[in-house]
Amino acid sequence: MANQKREAAQVQPQDATLISLVLQSLGVYEYDPKVVQQLLEFAHRYTTDVFQDALVYSEHANKNDIDLDDIQLAIQGRVNHSFTTPPPKEFLLELAEEKNKTPLPLIPEKYGNRLPADRYCLTGLNFSIVPNAPPPPSNTIPSSSSSSSQQQQQQSSSQSSSTTPQQQQQQQQQSKRRRDDMEDDDYDF
């Protein structure tokens, strides 16, 4: 078994062996082999970006070669933009204490699944059924106290106006085609 580990260690590139040794020095003995690959990729990308930034800084200073100052400036720029330090523990404890001052709401004593309000649920109705509208009120004839000329005007206007609601319904039913009357062309799939 020790021979297999040695053979596996010999198959790894020198950089991968170095990273696995760093992990072991930090007390990490069991890890997925892909962790080493990810750390290698991160290290390669980081150093490439630092050197590209250092090259830009040296060109800006009209220098032919990259020197230590350019590298330090590039690292400082990367650290400021790429890595952030976590907030202090005392600050986090203060925030937690302030947040925990307000008690949690009581749990309602309802049985079954607790769902949010109906407007936020997909189980609520999202349609409304409109029943057949009642016919509009018919024109009534005024009482006998009104003059006969007014009665004649209302009768003539009601006769000259459009059809009654019953007639409108009959016309709509006649205008609708029945299923038997429809042609096969209406059912294109």
Distance CA 40, CA 53 (A): 20
By the 8 A CB rule, do 147 and 132 touch? no
Distance CA 47, CA 116 (A): 51
| Residue 133: inside a domain | no
Contact 58, 65 (CB under 8 A): yes
Judged against a pLDDT cut of 80, whether residue 22 lies above it is answered with yes
Residue 131: inside a domain? no
Residue at 121 is within a domain: no
Place 143 in a pLDDT band, splitting at 50, 70 and 90.
low
Q: Which residue's structure tokens are 């006769």?
A: 159
Measured in whole angstroms, how far is the alpha carbon of residue 120 from the centre of its chain? 15
Q: How many domains does the chain have?
A: 1
pLDDT at 170 over 60: yes
The predicted-structure confidence for 36-74, as pLDDT tens digits, reads as follows 999 999 999 999 999 999 999 999 999 999 999 999 999
For residues 115 and 123, the answer to whether their CB atoms sit within 8 Å is yes
Please state, in angstroms and rounded to a whole number, the distance separating the CA atoms of residues 102 and 113.
Answer: 26
Residue 75 domain boundaries: 7-99
pLDDT tens column, 73-112: 999 988 877 777 888 999 999 999 999 999 888 877 777 7
CATH assignment at residue 61 = 1.10.20.10
* Between 55 and 7, the higher pLDDT residue: 55
Give a yes or no: residue 167 inside a domain: no
